[in-house]
Amino acid sequence: MAELTQLPVLFLHDQVALPGMTMPIELDDQARAAVEAAGSDKKLLVAPRFGERYPTHGAIATIEQIGRLPSGEPAAVLRAETRAKIGHGVTGPGAALWVEVEEVEAIEPTAKAQELATEYKRLLTAVLERRNAWQIIDHVGSIEDPSQLADLAGWASYLSAEKRADLLEQPDPEKRLEWLVQWTGDYLAEQEVSDKIAGDVREGMEKSQREFLLRQQLEAIRKELGESEPDGSQDYRSRVEEAELPEAVREAALREVGKLERASDQSPEGGWIRTWLDTVLEMPWSTRTEDASDVSAARAVLDADHHGLDDVKDRIVEYLAVRARRAERGLEIVGGRGSGAVLALAGPPGVGKTSLGESVARSLNRKFVRVALGGVRDEAEIRGHRRTYVGALPGRIVRAIKEAGSMNPVVLLDEIDKVGSDFRGDPAAALLEVLDPAQNHTFRDHYLELDLDLSDVVFIATANSIETIPPALLDRMELVSIDGYTEDDKVAIATDHLLPRQLERAALTDDDVTIAPEAIRELAGNYTREAGVRQLERLLGKVARKVATKLASSDETSTPIEVTTDNLTDFLGRPRFTPESPERTAVPGVATGLAVTGMGGDVLFIEATSTPNIEEQSGHGTRLTLTGQLGDVMKESAQIALSYLRSHGAANGIDAAALGSSIHLHVPAGAVPKDGPSAGVTMVTALASLASGHAVRSDVGMTGEVTLNGRVLPIGGVKQKLLAAQRAGLKTVFIPKRNEPDLDDVPSDVLAELDVRPVSDVAEILADALESAKSTSETTVTAA
């Protein structure tokens, strides 16, 4: 019987130390206590522990070295030497747990153990060869002792800790080697199965690649035979190679075709690539229409479609003339900076901005496409979405080019002033590159990710108000203002365009109805009050429907039915608008101004009145009340007008003290917001009329900004304001002296009807606009 020895014990959790193993142990509290208790002979017992169960066997180990791990933690290196059986616990020095141990005597290996050792060496070598552990193979080959060879299994990662504990408890090397041969053989069998599965998978992949190549060859054979593909799939590579694409586009498309050929059928990327390739192949990369070279014929087309609008027609004719000269001299540029145009048509509704785009395309012999921008708030609507998004599409510009089927169409950007912006970006900012002639030859859509040449496209943008267009965007376009039509223009447009169209819609001919020119003039003058002709066309349509109803309701109705000024009320009722300036300005304190709104020019009445109140005795000064939903600039104009009269009224024969201590200034149509400085002279005139008691002449209108010294500063929208004055029946209009050059844009028939007087000082207006005292009293008596 072996001698009993008392040793401190160190439990290893989920680890097993077999004789011959050398292993580092991190020194926690328990390990440190066991190492310190080992004493001078540096012997301790190392035993595995699984859960709450205490082991029956361990290994007597020697402490080889105490130091630190690379991480800095304290550690000790232990070398297991012999097996030992654990007895009862005993007491010993230090904080370590002490036990009695009995060293297990080694059993001499038998001949069978030698045979098992040889077999185990073969199996272990096969395992190590899989891991390319050649140095360990050499070490295994040098071991002759079967017991030492079996104890090498302590390093076998493919054995569980429980199996290694069984090896520790078994002293017979023959038995241990039987187990190891069985376990290692099972492990090798599992590895062979795994290798076979991996080989099958690899072979399957190679088979798929081989099938792909064969399928490509089959498609080529079918193509040569002229047979259609049975599954309806498309050969994108051949389509790309046959398409007339620019070189850069072709290279990008072929790269995507390569990705598609390598992608599996289940990959979502295949769908994205197919959609992208379809979009690229549908783009008209090499298709261009040839511009009309006859400038006179193009002008005739524009004149036939639209009345007036000479500025736009001149610009298009200029564009054609330059293109023709460049073609004659061989200066045409393809694929670079072209000679496209970017026009902005600004004006009130109904003047023909949108329909003008189609006429321009027809005169240029180009394709036409319309892009509605009203309410667009997403920047991706212009530049497109990244194609990795679900449902990604190219932007509206690319879609417009694809829809037109040409790389040089006329693109109408409708309602560009109504583009919004929010957290999804600013579409107006995305249009900066599109509408810049110096940049749009390399426009890049987020979806296509290809340079698109837009330099030969004619862009026409429409807007009702240029104030809402960002300045940077407006600067990239040629602004052409369309200020509205005169009454004669409206009659001509209605006779040549609107009436024939409405008669056709109502299935009427000239044999069914005749509308006298005087009746059309009555419609334009007293039934509508607009800058354009949209409402006029609606009324003509209403007349046509009334006539059609009358013809259908009675067989005895004589034809043609004549519509004149006498029976116009039978079809449309009484006129909606009548001149009101004489009535509104019949009393002192009312003046007629001129303004520009989103609907065009309009007259603006300013009323002033004064009332004495208690503040007059309290010395608080004059109180000015402003109503009519006025903006800050217009409120400041009222303050300036009052200050001017108080300081300069005497020089103009006006007693400013007669205004009283409480003045109320009102601009009717209070539901409509109003702002701007151009009503300054009108406010001065209204207050001067109130102070002097002289009414303002009913046929007088005025516009202009006023300063504290009475200077009249220039304003905008002169043409629209003069057109509104003519519609309202005014005869004399005062405008700023510095706006006199703007009269060149006003139609001659309007200037013939109006007495336009440029002034530089508001005193000139006061001298001519106020009635004399006698005429005012007569007007008051008449009104009474």
Q: Which residue positions form the known binding site for ATP?
A: 347-354
Three-class SS string for 316-336?
A: HHHHHHHHHHHHHCCCCCCCC
Given CA atoms 351, 354, 358, 364 in this order, what sign does their dihedral have? positive
Buried b (16+ CB within 10 A) or exposed e, 56-87: ebbbbbebeeeeeeeeeeebbebbbbebbbbe
Coil, helix or strand for 379? coil
Which one of 313, 490, 719, 721 is the catalytic residue? Answer: 721
CA distance linking residue 491 with residue 533, whole number of Å: 10
Q: Do residues 351 and 484 touch, judged by C-beta distance below 8 A?
A: yes
CA 271 → CA 384, 392, 490, distances in Å? 18, 12, 55
Q: Which residues, in sequence order, are CB contacts of 34 under 8 Å at separation 6+?
A: 8, 9, 10, 44, 96, 97
DSSP 8-state secondary structure symbol assigned to residue 558: -
CA distance linking residue 742 with residue 738, whole number of Å: 9
Which one of 581, 678, 689, 698 is the catalytic residue? Answer: 678
Which helix (H) or strand (E) element contains residue 663? strand 662-666
CA distance linking residue 151 with residue 385, whole number of Å: 66
Alpha carbons within 13 angstroms on the beta-carbon side of residue 326 total 14
Alpha carbons within 13 angstroms on the beta-carbon side of residue 698 total 14
Residue corresponding to tokens 């080697």: 177
CA nearest to 351, candidates 528, 481, 459, 467: 481
- Could you confirm whether 196 is annotated as catalytic? no
**Omega prior to 437 cis, within 30 of 0:** no
Q: Do residues 776 and 588 touch, judged by C-beta distance below 8 A?
A: yes
Torsion over CA of 297, 299, 301 and 305, rounded to 10 degrees? -170
Token duo for residue 716: 């905008």
CA 1 → CA 8, 9, 105, 640, distances in Å? 22, 22, 9, 125
CA distance linking residue 42 with residue 62, whole number of Å: 6
- Could you confirm whether 678 is annotated as catalytic? yes
CA distance linking residue 429 with residue 424, whole number of Å: 12
DSSP 8-state secondary structure symbol assigned to residue 50: B
Q: Do residues 730 and 754 touch, judged by C-beta distance below 8 A?
A: yes
Residue corresponding to tokens 């027809």: 362
Alpha carbons within 13 angstroms on the beta-carbon side of residue 733 total 31
Binding site, residues?
Answer: 347-354
Three-class SS string for 559-606?
A: CCEEECCCCHHHHHCCCCCCCCHHHHCCCCCEEEEEEEECCEEEEEEE
Buried b (16+ CB within 10 A) or exposed e, 717-727: bbbbbbbbbbb
Q: Which residues, in sequence order, are CB contacts of 23 under 8 Å at separation 6+?
A: 15, 17, 77, 78, 80
Q: Do residues 563 and 516 touch, judged by C-beta distance below 8 A?
A: yes
DSSP secondary structure, 77-100, as one string? EEEEEEEEEEEEEE--SSSSEEEE
Catalytic residues: 678, 721
